[in-house]
Amino acid sequence: MFSFFKNWFGKEQSELKKELQEEAVVDVNELSDAEAAVEKSANESKAPVGTKVHTELSLHPMWEQELDSEKKYTLRFLQAELPDMVRGMISVTGFSMIPGPSGLTVTMFFRNSLDHAVRIKNIRLAIYLDDKPFARMNVDLSDLGAIPPRSSRPWEMLFPEETFLHDNFTFKRWKVVMKAGKSSHVWPNHLELDPEMEKRMTERQKDRLEALTNSLPPIPAETVQVTGFDIGMTKDGKLVAGMLFRNGMKQMYHPDKLKLTISDTDGDVVAAGSVDASTVRVKPGYSRPWIIVFPPNSVKKPNANLRRWVLDVE
């Protein structure tokens, strides 16, 4: 607990300001009942939507008891450096990330710009390194307690290694992101393999697909997105491409036919055609790979540079 203070020993205030990371904001109306509870009051403000709110530091009773006056002053200074919030929002701002043998210890401000207290319960948090997802986990924040109106509450938690999506720690910027259940986006992070396809795959190939599924960003709700993940030309002139279907709808995705076009680095069409996709079935919230083989007579550019390629699906 409070491990971030060890990294701050001897730092000037101007250096501490640099610890504050980008803020991630969620409209409180996007949070489901399982994610947060708003403690309504009779004296609710009638301030117009869009009004800016200045927040004050709010320490959990345990932090209030354990921290000395100097540490409280440091947190109060950091909180004062945070920007004003738009009324009606919940946000999170990271200010310390420390690697350790068990994972990453991250400290952040949970902020409340409402005119009444908010209790954050079960929420999805993610760490992004240079705008790419690095770790994700569901967190029970009931111990955080009620965040008072117009205040910021610091909290520390561990992202264990099993929440990491990869092991690349090279980055310039980092931030904590809060995912809301009523959000307009869905993360189809459950990978499902066709049994016959799985039999032909190595463990390395399965691990690569699992990593790809977890590293791709969320997609708009009620949509299906297709991502190409592997491609190659066989000796007899066939073009073989792997694609990952990601289902953000609430029902099974079961297409009849698909029109596919593959372009190369130069933007030239390498292969195109309509295919029977009746065997494709992707559950809601799931990702499922599929392999397509273009016969030689469908390949328009056999000598294509496929180091970078684009897949279009209609």
5-23 as b/e, with b when 16 or more CB fall inside 10 Å?
Answer: eeeeeeeeeeebeebbbeb
Question: What is 11-60 written as a DSSP string?
Answer: --HHHHHTT---EEEEEGGGS-TTTEEE---TT---PPTT-EE--EE---
pLDDT (tens digit per residue) in 146-160: 999 999 999 999 999
In angstroms, what is the C-alpha Rg of the chain? 24
CATH class of 190-313: mainly beta
pLDDT of residue 243: 93
Whether the pLDDT of residue 245 is over 70: the answer is yes
d(CA 284, CA 188) in angstroms, rounded, equals 8
User: What is the token pair recorded at 187?
Assistant: 């993360």
pLDDT (tens digit per residue) in 285-298: 899 999 999 999 99
114-148 as b/e, with b when 16 or more CB fall inside 10 Å?
Answer: bbbbbbbbebbbbbbbeeebbbbbebebeebbbbb
pLDDT of residue 182: 58
Average pLDDT over residues 302-310: 89
**Quick one: pLDDT band at residue 222, thresholds 50, 70, 90?**
confident
**Quick one: pLDDT band at residue 47, thresholds 50, 70, 90?**
low
Q: Quote the pTM value.
A: 0.60
Average pLDDT over residues 86-102: 91
d(CA 267, CA 308) in angstroms, rounded, equals 10
Alpha helices in the chain (DSSP H): 4-8, 13-17, 61-66, 69-80, 195-199, 203-215
pLDDT (tens digit per residue) in 201-217: 888 888 888 888 877 87
Average pLDDT over residues 246-252: 90
Ordered by start, the domain boundaries in the chain are 4-183, 190-313
Question: What is 75-117 written as a DSSP string?
Answer: HHHHHHTSPPEETTEEEEEEEEEEEETTEEEEEEEEEE-SSS-
